[in-house]
Structure 1
Amino acid sequence: MIIYISGGVRSGKSSFAQQMALSLSANPVYVATAKIWDEDFRKRVERHQQERGPEWINFEGYQNVADLPIEDKVVVIDCVTLWLTNFFMDFDNSIEKSLSAFKLEIDQLQNLPGTFIIISNELGMGLHADNEVGRKFTDLQGWANQYVANQAEEAIFMVSGLPLYLKRRQSC
């Protein structure tokens, strides 16, 4: 099952996702999709790591996330934006190749038993990028977000730390 959580920077996505995961499992899994490229980003990653306690199982997954030992687990995947960046860089800024590879990974996750809480950023709500690469990535992000939200059983948009439910799981 996929639960999709999106929102802007510092909207509360990660903490909401982590609280949700802890409510579903005593030992959830956290998959970080980021590559650390500078000291400021390293500090951000360290802050996120400190926010999680010892009950978390942590993995780094730049690509091939479904190949990690996450089957039958509650998993937070943080985040689509950085995951897409890995594809976008590897495929020389090709939207088509990046989106295809990303969709394949989402499809593979859907075929695994478990709960996958996927976090993403909403990039298209701000200013337009001032260069071609930035505009291409924003388009890629939008299409990827649409794909995950469509595949998800639940979709949540975070605003100022509050969840807005776009799509709820069907109860039995």
Structure 2
Amino acid sequence: MKANIHLITGGQRSGKSAFAEQVTLGLTNTPIYLATSKKWDEEHNERIALHQARREECWTTVEEPIDIHQQDFSGQVVLLDCITLWLTNIFDEVSYDKEKALQKAKEIWNTLIQQDCTLVVVSNEIGLGGISMNKASRQFTDIHGLINQYLAKQAQKVTFVVSGLPMTVKE
């Protein structure tokens, strides 16, 4: 692994993306925003627009829903936002096969982190609430938790954001 990784995790609307943007801008004047979201519906498009409006002109945006490892980020500082949507895209692509999704995500991630770059990575903590009655949702929550653990072990730094307040978990 060559990448320097800072994993920033938290709940939905916890302030993790805004915090990740501040961290990234503290590291470079020429940040790259690696956006993994597909445009699912109008409400989701509004969320995307809020993220875009918050970013200054210095950001270069790369949109890639799955193959994040195919970009050359050598020597760059990249904000990857977010693992949850990236994993959703993979889970959908492999027809909700838990094992295939986990394997594909790890393969892509392992290739990405071979690059000599700095990655500020945003991910949700979706397993903190109740257990879904839907099998696919439970499987996704399982995969997501396993991927978060996998990333956290490799990260040099991990921050958990709660109510807009960052808490250092690993440094």
TM-score bin, normalised by smaller chain: over 0.9
1:58-115: CA deviation from partner (whole Å, max 9, x where unpaired): 0111112121232211000011110001110011111111111111122112210110
TM-score calculated relative to the size of structure 2:
0.96
Q: Which residue of 1 aligns with 2:164?
A: 161
| Distance (whole Å) between structure 1 residues aligned to residue 132 and residue 34 of structure 2 | 28
Tell me the number of residue pairs that the alignment of Structure 1 and Structure 2 aligns.
168
| Distance (whole Å) between structure 2 residues aligned to residue 111 and residue 21 of structure 1 | 20
1:24-53: CA deviation from partner (whole Å, max 9, x where unpaired): 000100011010010111111011000001
AA at the equivalent of 1:45: I
| Distance (whole Å) between structure 2 residues aligned to residue 50 and residue 103 of structure 1 | 31
Q: Which residue of 2 aligns with 1:106?
A: 109
AA at the equivalent of 1:24: L
Q: From 22, 32, 45, give the equivalent of 2:48.
A: 45
| Distance (whole Å) between structure 2 residues aligned to residue 112 and residue 87 of structure 1 | 21
Q: Which residue of 1 aligns with 2:30?
A: 27
Let me know the Cα RMSD of the aligned residues. Answer: 0.8
Which sits farther off after the overlay, 66-75 or 42-51? 66-75
AA at the equivalent of 2:62: F
Query: Could you tell me the percent identity over the aligned residues?
Result: 41
Q: From 152, 157, 166, give the equivalent of 1:149.
A: 152
* CA displacement at 1:160 relative to structure 2: 1.0
Q: From 17, 23, 29, give the equivalent of 2:20.
A: 17
Where 1:103 maps in the other structure, the secondary structure is helix
Q: Which residue of 1 aligns with 2:77?
A: 74
TM-score calculated relative to the size of structure 1:
0.95
Structure 1: tracts of 5 or more residues without a match: none
Where 2:8 maps in the other structure, the secondary structure is strand
| Distance (whole Å) between structure 2 residues aligned to residue 111 and residue 68 of structure 1 | 12
| Distance (whole Å) between structure 1 residues aligned to residue 18 and residue 76 of structure 2 | 18
| Distance (whole Å) between structure 1 residues aligned to residue 74 and residue 108 of structure 2 | 14
| Distance (whole Å) between structure 2 residues aligned to residue 105 and residue 151 of structure 1 | 14
